[in-house]
Chain A
Amino acid sequence: MSKDTKDKARAIKEDYKYGFHSPEEFVYKAEKGLNEEIVRSISRIKNEPEWMRDYRLKSYQTFLEKPMPKWGDQKMLSQIKFENIFYYLRPTDKQKKDWSDVPEYIKDTFDKLGIPEAEQKFLGGVTAQYESEVVYHSMRDDLTKKGILFTDMDSGLREYPEVVKKYFGTIIPYTDNKFAALNSAVWSGGSFIYVPPDTQVIIPLQAYFRINAKNMGQFERTLIIADKGSSVHYIEGCTAPVYSSDSLHSAVVELIALENAKIRYTTIQNWSNNVFNLVTKRAAAYKNAKVEWVDGNIGSKLTMKYPAIYLMDEHAHGEVLSIAYAGKGQHQDAGAKMVHAAPNTTSKITSKSISKDGGQNTYRGLVKITKNSKNCKSNVRCDALMLDMNSRSDTYPHMEVEESEGVKVNHEATVSKVDEEMLFYLNSRGISEDDAVSMIINGFIEPFTKQLPMEYAVELNRLIQLEMEGAIG
Chain B
Amino acid sequence: MPNIKSVVKKKKNSEYLEDLSKIIPLNGLSDKFPEKSWETWRRFDPSLLLPIMLESAREGVYKLPLLWKEINEDVTSCTKHKNFCENVKVLKEWEKTDFKFAQKVKDSLKKLNYNNEAAFFSQMANNITPWDETPVFRISKNSSMENPLHFLYAPKKDIKYFYSNSLIIYAEENSSASICLESFSEGFNLYDTRVYLEDNASLNLHCLIREGIGSNTTKHSAWVWNKNVYCRSSSNFTQSFFSAGGKLGKMISEVFLNDNSSAQIYGIHVGNHSHVDHDFNVKHFGSRSTSNLEFNMALLDNAYGVFRGKLNIPKDYRVCKAEQTNKNLLLGEKSRADSIPMLEVLSEEVECSHGSATGELSDEEMFYLQSRGLNETQAKQLLLLGFFENILQKALKHTQDKAAYNDPFLHDIWCAIQDRSHINFERTYTMAET
Contacts and interface: CB of A to CB of B under 8 A. Distances in A.
A41 interface: no
B355 A412 contact: yes
B350 interface: yes
Contacts of A371: 334
B146 interface: no
For A71, A397, A415, the residue with the greatest tally of chain B CB atoms inside 10 Å of its CB is A415
A473 B349 CA distance: 9
Given A70-B37, A407-B360, A392 B336 contact: no
B343 A415 contact: yes
Interface stretch (A197-205, A317-325, A382-390): A382-390
Contact of A410 (B333, B342, B356): B356
Nearest to A408: B359
A396 B340 CA distance: 7
A72 B330 CA distance: 31
B292 interface: no
Interface in B23-79: 34-35, 37-39, 41-42
B345 A392 contact: yes
A160 to B, nearest CB: 38
A293 to B, nearest CB: 20
B347 A398 contact: no
B161 to A, nearest CB: 34
A473 B356 contact: no
Contacts of A397: 339-342, 356
A407 B38 contact: no
Contact of B338 (A391, A392, A401): A401
A364 interface: yes
Contact of A395 (B37, B335, B347, B354): B354
A404 interface: yes
Interface in A289-342: none
Contact of B353 (A398, A409, A414): A414
Contacts of B334: 371
B358 A401 contact: yes
Contact of B42 (A69, A386, A400, A401): A400
B82 to A, nearest CB: 49
B357 to A, nearest CB: 5
A7 interface: no
B76 to A, nearest CB: 39
Q: Looking at chain B, what size class is its interface with the partner chain? A: 35 or more
A232 B425 CA distance: 65
Nearest to A415: B352
A463 interface: no
Contacts of B38: 71-72, 364, 396
Interface string A346-380: 00000000000000000010000001000000000
Contacts of B330: 401, 403-404, 407
A387 B348 contact: yes
A414 B42 CA distance: 23
Chain B binding surface, main DSSP class: strand
B328 interface: yes
Contact of B335 (A399, A404, A417): A404
Nearest to A406: B360
Instruction: Kindly name the residue among B41, B336, B345, B348 whose own CB sees the greatest number of chain A CB atoms within 10 A.
Output: B348
A390 B348 CA distance: 8
B355 A411 contact: yes
Contact of A386 (B34, B299, B347, B357): B347
Given A396-B38, A473-B348, A415 B340 contact: no
Given A394-B344, A399-B338, A416 B351 contact: yes
A411 B356 contact: yes
A117 interface: no
A258 to B, nearest CB: 30
B348 A407 contact: no
B332 interface: yes
A389 B315 contact: yes
A1 interface: no
A24 interface: no
A414 B343 CA distance: 9
B330 to A, nearest CB: 3
B100 to A, nearest CB: 39
A27 B346 CA distance: 48
A140 B353 CA distance: 48
A384 B330 CA distance: 30
Given A389-B315, A402-B336, A414 B341 contact: no
B209 interface: no
With most chain A CB atoms within 10 A of its CB, the pick from B37, B328, B340, B343 is B343
Given A409-B359, A412-B353, A413-B354, A395 B342 contact: yes
A402 B351 CA distance: 32
A69 B35 CA distance: 10
Instruction: Name the residue among A364, A395, A410 with the largest chain B CB count within 10 angstroms.
Output: A395
A405 interface: yes
Contact of A398 (B35, B299, B328, B338): B338
Contacts of B15: none
Contact of B360 (A394, A405, A413): A405
A386 B354 contact: no
Nearest to B325: A412
B393 to A, nearest CB: 23
Nearest to B306: A400
A184 B335 CA distance: 39
B52 to A, nearest CB: 24
Nearest to A360: B346
B342 A415 contact: no
A407 B335 CA distance: 12
B316 interface: yes
A70 B345 CA distance: 21
A398 B41 contact: yes
A280 interface: no
A277 interface: no
Interface string B298-334: 0100000000000000011000000000001011111
A459 to B, nearest CB: 28
B370 to A, nearest CB: 18
Nearest to A380: B356
B203 interface: no
Given A71-B38, A389-B316, A414-B353, A399 B348 contact: no
A389 B348 contact: yes
A393 B356 contact: no
Given A398-B42, A409-B357, A411-B354, A386 B338 contact: no
CB-CB nearest 8 A-B residue pairs: A404-B330, A71-B38, A71-B37, A415-B352, A411-B356, A395-B343, A399-B339, A409-B358
Interface of B: 34-35, 37-39, 41-42, 299, 315-316, 328, 330-360
11 contacts: A70-B37, A387-B348, A394-B344, A396-B38, A398-B338, A404-B332, A404-B359, A409-B358, A411-B354, A413-B341, A415-B343
Given A389-B315, A394-B343, A404-B331, 5 more contacts: A386-B350, A401-B336, A407-B359, A408-B357, A417-B349
Interface of A: 69-72, 364, 371, 384, 386-417, 473
